[in-house]
Amino acid sequence: MKKPIRVAVTGAAGNIGYALVFRLASGEVFGPDQPVHLNLIEIPPALPALDGVEMELDDCAFSTLAGVTKVDSDHLEDGFADCNWVLCVGSIPRGKGMERGDLIRVNGPIFTNTGKAIQAASADDVRIVVVGNPCNTNCLIAMNNAPDIPRDRWYAMTMLDQNRAKTQLAQKSGQGVSAVKRMAIWGNHSATQFPDFSTATINGKPAPEVIGDDAWFKDEFIPVVQKRGAAVIQARGASSAASAANAALDTVKAANSKTADGDFFSAAVCSDGSYGVDEGLIFGYPLISDGTTWKIEQGIEHDEFAQQKIEATLNELREERDTVKDLLA
C-alpha cells in the first residue's frame, strides 16, 4: 500500500470542516489509489461533535481513508505531526459589533501557535492553505512564526472569489463555466479584493470583448464578487460553507498539479515584490504551478482603474500587517 498523505484540518467539526473532510477522504483530491490519513483538530468544546464526524467518516467506508486522528487544539504539534498538508479553517468568527481590526487581534494568537507548531512537527514537504479569516493576515502571522518553512509553501484562499467571479462571467455571457479562464483575484480576501476582468477569457477571447459592457464590469461584476459572501449570509443565515470547502479543495488541487498552458489560478502567497506589492505580504495573485511550487504570472498591464483597485487592497493589507506587527516574530 502507498504511504498515506497526511492532511491536518483545523476547525474540522465546523461548517466548512464538515463540507471538507468527506471529500478529502473520498479520493477526490489526491486520487483513487492514494490513501489519506486525516488529522482533525478542534477546540475542546467541539470534540464531542468531532467524534460524530469521525463516526460518519467510518460509516462512509471510503477505501482511500487510511485513518483518522482527532486532536485537541491545545496540542497542536500532535495535530500537525508529519502532515503533508495543513488546512487552517478553524478561527473565531466575527461577532456582533466587532470591527475587522478586533477580529484580527482575536485570531492572531491562534496563528502564532499554528505557525510554531507546523514548523516543529509537520513533514518536510508541508504545504499550508489558510481559510480562516482574515485569511491573508492569519497566513502572514503563521508564516512569520515558522521561519524555517520555505515561503512558497503558504497559501491564503482567494479561490472562492475566483470561482464566484468565473460563474458571474459565465452567466453573463451565456457560456459554461469551463469556458472561463485566467480569472485573477488581486490582494486581500475581503471587500477590497480586485477581481480583474481584464485578463479573463471566455472561450479564449478577452472577456471585456465578449461581454462588451464596461459599465457592467465596473458597477455590477466587481461589487457582486466582492460582496458575495455577505449576500450568502443574508440569504442562508450562515456564511458560505460548501462553496468555501470546495474552493479549499480546488486550491490544493491547483497547487498540487501543473497549471494548464495559458491559464492561471488565484491564491494569496508571499509577495516577492511583483506588481509593486511589499515583499513578504500575503497578497492575492494569479499563479502558475508546476505541481510543487508556483510562479506569479508576470507581464500583466494594469490601467489606471485597475491600479487604483490594487492600491486600495494593498493599503488594507498594509494596515492589517501593522495591526499585528508584534505577532510577526
Residues flagged as binding site for NAD(+): 11-17, 107, 131-133
> Measuring CA to CA, how many Å separate 120 from each of 41, 70, 110?
16, 19, 16
Number of residue whose CB is nearest ligand NAI = 14
Nearest distance from C-beta of residue 41 to ligand NAI, angstroms: 5
Q: By C-beta, is 23 or 211 nearer to ligand NAI?
A: 23
DSSP H helical ranges for 177-290? 207-211, 214-216, 222-226, 228-236, 242-255
Q: By C-beta, is 140 or 160 nearer to ligand NAI?
A: 160
Residue environment code for 283-293, b if the CB has 16+ CB neighbours within 10 A, otherwise e:
bbbbbbbeeee
Q: By C-beta, is 205 or 230 nearer to ligand NAI?
A: 230
- Going by the annotation, the residues of the binding site for substrate are 94, 100, 133, 164
What is the spatial distance between Cα 126 and Cα 120, in angstroms, rounded to a whole number?
11
> Can you name the residues that pair with 129 across neighbouring β-strands?
87, 155
Q: C-alpha dihedral over 154, 281, 181, 234, to 10 degrees?
A: 90
Which residues are designated catalytic? 189
Q: By C-beta, is 41 or 288 nearer to ligand NAI?
A: 41
Nearest distance from C-beta of residue 232 to ligand NAI, angstroms: 9
Nearest distance from C-beta of residue 70 to ligand NAI, angstroms: 12
Three-state DSSP at 183 gives coil
Q: DSSP string of 279-322?
A: TT-EEEEEEEEBSS-EEE-------HHHHHHHHHHHHHHHHHHH
Residue with cell 500500500: 1
- Going by the annotation, the residues of the binding site are 11-17, 94, 100, 107, 131-133, 164
Dihedral over Cα of 135, 140, 143, 145: its sign: negative
Nearest distance from C-beta of residue 213 to ligand NAI, angstroms: 27
Residue 97: φ, ψ to 5°: 75, 5
Contacts of 72 (CB under 8 A, 6+ apart): 41, 42, 43, 44, 47
Residue with cell 512564526: 145
Nearest distance from C-beta of residue 260 to ligand NAI, angstroms: 23
Nearest distance from C-beta of residue 261 to ligand NAI, angstroms: 27
What is the spatial distance between Cα 123 and Cα 81, in angstroms, rounded to a whole number?
7
Q: By C-beta, is 24 or 210 nearer to ligand NAI?
A: 24
Residues that bind ligand NAI (CB under 6 A): 10-11, 13-17, 41-43, 46, 73, 89-93, 110, 131-133, 135, 157, 160, 189, 239-241, 244
**Cα angle for residues 98, 8, 267 (degrees, 5° grid):** 60
